[in-house]
Structure 1
Amino acid sequence: MPSLPAIGAVPSLDAEERANILDTLFEPCTQLHTLSVETLGSSKFESYSALIEAVGHQLQSLYTSNLESDEKWLDDILAAHPRLGEKKVESEQSQREQAQLNQGGEGEAEKLARLNNAYEEKFPGLRYVVFVNGRSRPVIMEDMQRRIERGDIQQEKQDAIQALCDIANDRAKKLLAT
């Protein structure tokens, strides 16, 4: 099981250890490392919540930028999150979080796969990202369908940034409680 160092120690860690914190809280992503590893080394945070908020502000800055390169950078960070219901998931955190979603019947798994495909077709370069927070697969699939029908890619990016931060805060809380 991954762990988190004391928040006060974060700035003194080497770049690889700070990247590991980002991987634990978010998902393994080179673009996120490039964006945030230096910030974790040059800033003191009162809590992991404050650290996650700082990363969230960096993601928002990419979102509000008019540079195409920043938009692509943000899309790559958002797409680092695994597809919902994916069987092969890189991070241990996502494996545990998605376990409950993989307990549904085969019909539900097929529907979720179709929704993932429809979402990615509607929003090229993005993945559906949501803080599951104990909600059932049918409830999550309803939300996914609603967001596909809404068809607002800018709102999707905002929702995904918020979800990434919510997921990271939940992970931090759980890891610090152990």
Structure 2
Amino acid sequence: MAIYKVPPITALPSLSTAELATILDHLFEPSVPLHTLSVDLLRNQSFSSYNDMIASIGVQLTDLADSSSTSDSKWLESILGAHPRLGEKKIDSTQSKAEQAQLALDDGTGQDKLSELNALYERTFPGLRYVVFVNGRARSTILEDIQARIDRGDVAFERTDAIKVRAYLGKYVNFC
């Protein structure tokens, strides 16, 4: 399978909506609501690097998180909820497949517990998915983290953390 390489950052304003959406899908997760939020930003603002572009999208997401509007909260949740569940079998994103492959290297235990905690997390924080940087972390560490975050019960923290993780992961794409 060929590795997707994003075009030069200076090319963004000249790309089609579909090409810009593809870039967003590779940097984050496939999400039509993210396309709707950010395609115009990519087309109309100049960036010195992809990291700057990712940071600008992070600002857009943070603005939604900081808004008191219910519709903004729902919009943000639809974007953040595009991330696949940890341990999910069907994952569309190449980036998430590679990241989550690390969970399979564990001793194989804890899949039921992970599924149970994913479900509890989503009941505790409706509209969100538990996201964390997996690479190099043991499944037991991740299980402890998800439980601690459920116990804390802070939806604002979860939204902010999900935005940070997405921006962090977006920086690990092959840039031209």
TM-score (normalised: structure 2): 0.94
Aligned to 2:26: 24
One-letter code aligned to 1:53: A
Secondary structure at the aligned position of 1:127 is classed as coil
Instruction: Give unmatched runs, 5+ long, in structure 1.
Output: none
8 Å contact 2:10–2:46 — kept in the other structure? yes
CA shift, 1:163, in A, is 0.9
1:8-58 CA deviation, whole Å, 9 max, x = no partner? 111211111111110000000000000000100011111111000000000
Are 1:176 and 2:161 an aligned pair? Answer: no
Q: Is the 8 A contact 1:65 1:71 kept in 2?
A: yes
What is aligned with 1:161?
A: 163
Please state how far the C-alpha of 1:111 moved relative to its aligned partner: 1.3
Point out the structure with the larger helix share. 1
Once residues 148 and 4 of structure 1 are traced to their aligned partners in structure 2, the CA distance between those partners, rounded to angstroms, is 36
Q: Distance in 2 between matches of 1:122 and 1:105?
A: 28
Letter in 1 for 2:15: L
User: Larger relative contact order (C-alpha < 8 A, sep ≥ 6)?
Assistant: 2
> Structure 1 vs Structure 2: percent identity of aligned residues?
51
The number of residues matched between the two structures is: 174
SS in 2 for 1:80: coil
Q: Which runs of 5+ in 2 are unaligned?
A: none
Partner of 1:117: 119
Supply the distance in 2 between the matched residues of 1:5 and 1:134 (Cα, whole angstroms): 29
Matches within 5 A, 1:45-60: 45-60=47-62
Aligned pair in 2 of structure 1 residues 113, 105: CA closer, same or farther (>3 Å)?
farther
Which residue identity is paired with 1:148? Answer: I
Measure the CA separation in 2 of the matches of 1:147 and 1:115.
10
Give the TM-score, by structure 1 length.
Answer: 0.93
Q: CA RMSD in A?
A: 1.3
Match of 1:134 in 2: 136
